Amino acid sequence: MKRGDVVLVRIPFVDGGSKRRPALIVQDDRNNRRLMTTIVAAITSNLRNVSQPTQLRIDPSTPEGQDSGLLLPSAVKCENLFTVSGDAIQIIGFLPAMTMTAVDACLKEALGLP
């Protein structure tokens, strides 16, 4: 697994439950190789808040989204980060470097980084 991979993982809910959903690996590759967990950002097909600077729209019908493995237009929710065990990850696609640059901007906004 590597940064930019779109994966299926069990996303935890605030109430204690979880559901298998897509997510994006945002942790750097050095840590992906050395740690047993990785940091991911949730992906949702609910586009209600995609205009927020912490979310990035991914459309699988576009050249940028065609290799994502997503079935529907979706949003990477950079304000919803969590860690998952590396052995619980199923890779379904990836995002290109240019799109990951846009994800970086959303992460900076979500984390309040300059």
Domain ranges of the chain: 5-111
How many other C-beta atoms are found inside a 10 Å radius of the C-beta of residue 13? Answer: 8
The model's confidence at residue 100, banded by pLDDT at 50, 70 and 90, is very high
**Residue 11 pLDDT grade (very low, low, confident, very high; cuts 50, 70, 90):** confident
pTM of this prediction? Answer: 0.94
Any idea which architecture 5-111 has in CATH?
A: Roll (2.30)
pLDDT at res. 111: 97
Q: Percent of the chain at pLDDT above 70?
A: 100
